[in-house]
Chains A and B, each alone.
Chain A
C-alpha cells in the first residue's frame, strides 16, 4: 500500500515539475506574446491593451499560478490570437486523437499477436525469417509514407475510402468508420511491425519455460501448448510495450493527422505553433504530457499487478 502511495506522490511531483518546464519553455520564446498576437500594424497601445486584457503584464509567478489554477478547474484560458476558449478546443481534438490512437493500437495488436507468435513458432525456418524480416522493414517505414501509399491505393485507386477528413460518430457511424480506416491502418501497420518483434521475443521466452516443455513432453504441439499455457505469460511484456507505444503514438499521430487532415490534438498543436498561439501551445503540450504521465502510471500499476516478481517484492 505504501508503495502505491509513494508511486502516486511521485506521479504528482512529476506532473508539477512538468508544468514548470512547459511554462518556462514558453517564456523563452523570442518576441513578446502580446506583440505577436496584436499583429503587424499594432501600435504600442494595442500591445499594452492585449497585455492588460490577458494579464500578461503581471509578474511571471502570478501568471504561472493563474495558469495552473485555471487548469485545475479545467480552464486553459482564452487564446490571445483566435479569441477562442482553449478548453473546448482541446477536449474536441483529444477525442479525435484518442479514437485514432486506441483504434490503431487495437488493430496493431490484432496483427502483431498472431504474426509474432507465428514467427516465434517458426523460428529457424524460412517462413519465420521472412516474417521477422518483414517486421524489421515495417519498423523502418515512416508512417507518413505508409499513409501516402494507402491513400494512393485504397482511396485514389480503388475508391474504397475517403482520402481525408473526419466525421464524428454521431453524424453517422458508417461515415465515421470509413474516414477512420486509412489513418488507423497507416498508424497500425507500422505499430504492428514494432509490436510483432516484442510478441516474438516474449513468446520465445515463454517457449523456453519449463512448464511449456512439460506440456510439450505430454504430447501437445508447440502451438497448442502456447495457446493453452503460454500466451497469458507472454502477454505481460506485450501489454507493457503496447502501453509505452501508446504514449509515443499520441504525439506520433500528428503526422498522420496532417496527411489525413484530421482535427486531432496534433493538428491543433501544429496550427497553434504556426500562429504563435502560445497559450494554446502551452495548454496542448501540458495535456499531452499529462496523458503520457498517466499512461506511464497506469502501466506501472498494471505491471505491479500482473508480474508476480514485482508483486512478491512489495
Chain B
C-alpha cells in the first residue's frame, strides 16, 4: 500500500480509533467482541432515536407549557425526571432535545458526506495531478478551522442558532470525509478489476458508481458515525456557550447550562441532560467502532 502522504492522513480519525484485531484471539472471538460493541452502540443510538421519534406523536407533557405550580418538583411518578424552573417536565424536554441532537448530527454529517465524499473520490480517481492537489490543499485550508472555531465564527456572522451551528459542524467535517474517501478510493483504484474496467473503456462515472462507492461505503459509514458523535458533543458545547440552539427550542446542552444554578438544590436538572449527551456520544462512538471491527478485513488492508 502507498505510504501515507502526511502525518494527519496516516492517522485513523482522531476520536474513535479502531481497536486493531491482534493476532492472538481467534477471529470468531474478535467478531463476537465487535458485535457486542456494535450492539451496545446500536442500542444506545436506538434509544435516542426512539425518544426523538416518539416525541413527534407523544410526550408526557406539552414542552412549551410552563406550569408555575409544578416548578422544581424533583423526581416523582408524575415527572420521572423532575421539572424545571418553569414547571416543565424534564422527560418531555429530554425527548424534544433528542430531536435537535439528532437533527444537528444528521445535517452536519449529510453536508460533510455529500461534499466530502465526491471530492475525495474525485481526488482519488483523477489522473490530473493538479486537480487532486487542489482538492487536498482546499481540504488543508478547511482543516485549519477546527469545528468549534468555525461554529463560533458562523454564530458571529449569521447569529447564533441551530442552523448556523450544524452548517459549521458539517463544513468542518468535510476534510475528514474527503480524506477517508480519497484513501479508500486510492486503494480500490489499484485493484485489478479497476484496471479491467478501464481497459473496457468504462466511463469514470460508471467506475465510481459501480466499483468505488460500494467499496468505500463501509469506511464512510464508520466516519459518519464518528462525525455524528463529534457533532453531538460540539452542539452541546455551543449551546452551553449560548451560541447553539436558542430558546425556546429544547436542547440538551442548554438544559445543562441552565441547570447550573440548581446544582445545589435540584441536581437532577443537570444529571439527565448530561447523561443523555454522554449516551448519544457513546452510542455513536461504539457504533463506529463496532462497524469498523466488522469491516476489519478492508481496514486491515489499509496498512
Chain A interfacial positions (CB closer than 8 Å to B): 10, 13-14, 17-18, 21, 25-26, 28-30, 123-124, 132, 136-137, 139-145, 148, 152, 194, 197-198, 200-201, 204-205, 207-208, 237, 240-241, 243-245, 247-248, 250-252, 254-255, 258, 269-270, 273, 276, 278, 281, 285, 288-289, 292-293, 296, 299-300, 302-304, 307, 309-310, 313
Residue from B23, B148, B260 in contact with A252 in the complex, judged by beta carbons closer than 8 Å:
B148
A29:B7 contact, CB within 8 angstroms: no
B152-171 to A contact mask, C-beta < 8 Å, 1/0:
11011110000000000000
Residues of A within 8 A of B149 (CB): 251, 285, 288-289
Residues of B within 8 A of A143 (CB): 237
Number of B residues, CB within 8 Å of A: 54
Residues of A within 8 A of B18 (CB): 201
When A139-B285, A276-B156, A299-B8 are in contact, do A144 and B237 touch as well, CB less than 8 Å? yes
Residues of A within 8 A of B227 (CB): none
Residues of A within 8 A of B158 (CB): 30
Instruction: Answer whether residue B197 sits at the interface, using C-beta atoms and an 8 A cutoff.
Output: no
B263-303 to A contact mask, C-beta < 8 Å, 1/0:
10000001000100111011001100000000000000000
CA distance A304 to B6 in the complex (A): 8
Residue from A198, A201, A269 in contact with B152 in the complex, judged by beta carbons closer than 8 Å:
A269
When A141-B278, A144-B237 are in contact, do A237 and B11 touch as well, CB less than 8 Å? yes
B79-108 to A contact mask, C-beta < 8 Å, 1/0:
000000000000000000000000000000
B141:A28 contact, CB within 8 angstroms: no
29 contacts between A and B (CB under 8 A): A14-B144, A18-B141, A25-B153, A140-B278, A142-B236, A144-B237, A144-B256, A148-B260, A148-B263, A197-B16, A198-B17, A201-B19, A237-B11, A244-B11, A248-B14, A251-B148, A251-B149, A254-B241, A255-B237, A270-B243, A285-B149, A288-B146, A288-B149, A292-B144, A296-B144, A299-B7, A300-B7, A303-B6, A309-B3
CA distance A269 to B140 in the complex (A): 23
Residue from A18, A240, A247, A289 in contact with B11 in the complex, judged by beta carbons closer than 8 Å:
A240
Residue of B nearest to A17 (CB): B141
Chain B interfacial positions (CB closer than 8 Å to A): 3-4, 6-8, 10-12, 14-20, 22-25, 137, 140-141, 143-146, 148-149, 152-153, 155-158, 229, 233, 236-237, 240-241, 243, 253, 256, 260, 263, 270, 274, 277-279, 281-282, 285-286
When A201-B19, A300-B8 are in contact, do A270 and B157 touch as well, CB less than 8 Å? no
Residue of B nearest to A289 (CB): B144
Among all A-B residue pairs, the 9 with the closest Cβ atoms = A303-B7, A140-B281, A140-B282, A273-B156, A251-B146, A140-B278, A251-B149, A17-B141, A289-B144
CA distance A281 to B150 in the complex (A): 12
B10:A273 contact, CB within 8 angstroms: no
Residue from A21, A28, A137 in contact with B282 in the complex, judged by beta carbons closer than 8 Å:
A137
CA distance A256 to B277 in the complex (A): 17
B15:A139 contact, CB within 8 angstroms: yes
Extra A-B contacts (10), CB below 8 Å, given A137-B278, A270-B152? A10-B140, A13-B137, A26-B157, A140-B233, A142-B256, A142-B278, A244-B11, A248-B14, A289-B144, A296-B140
Residue of A nearest to B151 (CB): A251
CA distance A21 to B140 in the complex (A): 13
Residue of A nearest to B138 (CB): A17
CA distance A296 to B140 in the complex (A): 9
Residue of A nearest to B253 (CB): A142
B17, B20, B285 interface centre (most CB from chain A within 10 Å): B17
Residue of A nearest to B6 (CB): A300
B22:A123 contact, CB within 8 angstroms: yes
A296:B3 contact, CB within 8 angstroms: no
CA distance A132 to B282 in the complex (A): 12
Q: What is the interface of chain B mostly: helix, strand, loop, or mixed?
A: helix
A21:B277 contact, CB within 8 angstroms: no
CA distance A19 to B291 in the complex (A): 39
B282:A313 contact, CB within 8 angstroms: no
Closest CB-CB distance, A308 to chain B, in whole Å? 10
Residue of B nearest to A245 (CB): B14
CA distance A207 to B7 in the complex (A): 22
CA distance A17 to B25 in the complex (A): 49
Closest CB-CB distance, B296 to chain A, in whole Å? 13
CA distance A71 to B92 in the complex (A): 51
Residue of B nearest to A252 (CB): B148
Residues of A within 8 A of B233 (CB): 140, 142
CA distance A148 to B4 in the complex (A): 40
Residues of B within 8 A of A278 (CB): 156
B277:A142 contact, CB within 8 angstroms: yes
CA distance A255 to B7 in the complex (A): 28
A303:B137 contact, CB within 8 angstroms: no
B157:A25 contact, CB within 8 angstroms: yes
